[in-house]
Every structure is written in C-alpha cells, then in structure tokens.
Amino acid sequence: MKQALPKVLTIEVPDDPALYGSVIFDMNDFNVLNITSEDEKRGEMYLQQRKRIELEKSVTNLDDFLNNLEIKIQIKEANKFTIPRISQLTLKTNQFNLTTCRYQEQEIEKIVQEKNTIIKAIQVEDKFGDSGITGVFIIKKDDVVWTIDTFLLSCRIMSRKIENEMMTHIINEAKKEKIELIIAHYIPTQKNKPCEMFLSNYGFKKNETDDWIFEVGKIKNTSSHVKVKIE
C-alpha cells in the first residue's frame, strides 16, 4: 500500500500486537475533534485534483501549469469559522510544517487573544475549484523582530508557490511596522525537509544558533500567477 499509494496513510505496527494501541495513541492524525467544511468536501476535492493532474500533464513546464491554474488566495482572520480548520492543520500537517507545533482549538482561541501575535489562515482556489483553508501562519511580534511560530501548508497544494505568497505577505506586514528581522525557528523532522529548502531558496540565512534569519529590507517579489486578497 505504501508504495502503490504513497498519499494514503499507512501505519507501521510492531510485531507484538500488544503494542498496537500505543502506536495509534502516539499518532497525531486522530486528534481532530470537529469535522470541517474541507472534510465534508473531500470527495469533490479529489475530483478537482484529477483535473489539475490532467492539466499538469498537458503542459510542458511548471510555469505554464501554474499560470493556467488561475490561482487565488485569501488571507483570512482566525475566528470561530476558521479556528477549527486552523487547529486541524496544525495537528495533521507534517511535510510542509516549519515547527510541527500542535494546537488544539482551545489553544488557538487563546493565541488569537494575545496582543503580540498574528495568526492567519490561507484559503486557496483555482479554476477547478476551492481547496479550502490549506495554510496557516502564526507570528510572535516584538519591537524590532518577528518570530515565526508556525508556518505550514497542506501537502495537496504544495509545488504551487503558495508558500512564497504567504511569506511575502508576512514580510510586507513587518515592513509596515518597521521591523528589521524575521526569525524562523525550523525544527527538523523526518518529513519536513521541504521547509528548510524553502527558507534557503526564499533568502533566509542560517545563523550560529541554527535559526533562519531574513532581513526585511530584502523583500522578494510576489509570484505573477497568484492573485492575493487580504480579508
């Protein structure tokens, strides 16, 4: 199963059946308490994804594919409508998740109340349909430095440069408040290597304490194939 359908979650269990329970208990995939609108539309989203794959096969390069998708993203506030999905993404996302910090809904609600914190959800849609809320970032603010606590993207919208738009938005907002540095704490896992590659490609530099630093004055250009709307 793991080789034939790598996107399907396959649980590797020990030889001793007595240990099965502890393996399942330690997984974060079953920590979600509520069903979100993205869960309810999962069948529809699979059909949309097939159309995207067909489009990708019909063009000769990535830029043509992305331009033809007509991608739009909305940067949304954390509220009673988006908090359940934000929590779900922090609990389930592994591959593109900078720190893999896990937050239950009650914890997200507390973060929203913190004065020196920014928390946003990213909703993505294209010509084939709405992928729903598939990205999250949480920023801890200081007078001269912003620290990225959480920066994640669902695996189903990876390779569309959405992460570039998310980071550019963060840096633009930091620039408005005359912030000098963005610090990204990257906590490596077996699955989240793409995050480290993204930081390096975007222009972050690793310092002596293994933090990734971006000088706000060196802002990157946004991607021409993505339209951004801020709620």
pLDDT in tens, the chain (231 residues): 555 544 455 666 666 565 556 555 555 555 555 666 556 566 687 888 899 999 999 999 999 999 999 999 999 999 999 999 999 999 999 999 999 999 999 999 999 999 999 999 999 999 999 999 999 999 999 989 999 999 999 988 998 999 999 999 999 999 999 999 999 999 999 999 999 999 999 999 999 989 999 999 876 666 678 899 998
Read out DSSP for 108-174? HHHHHH-TTEEEEEEEEEETTEEEEEEEEEEEEE-SSEEEEEEEEE-GGGTTSSHHHHHHHHHHHHH
Angle, alpha carbons 91-167-219 (nearest 5°): 165
Beta strands in the chain (DSSP E): 71-77, 96-97, 117-126, 129-141, 145-153, 181-184, 205-206, 212-215, 226-230
* Best CATH choice for the domain 20-230 from the list 3.40.50.1780, 3.40.630.30, 3.30.70.260, 3.50.50.60: 3.40.630.30
What is the Cα–Cα distance from 139 to 148, expressed in whole angstroms?
Answer: 5
Intra-chain end-to-end CA distance of the chain, in Å: 41
Provide the residue ranges of all domains of the chain, joining segments of one domain with +: 20-230
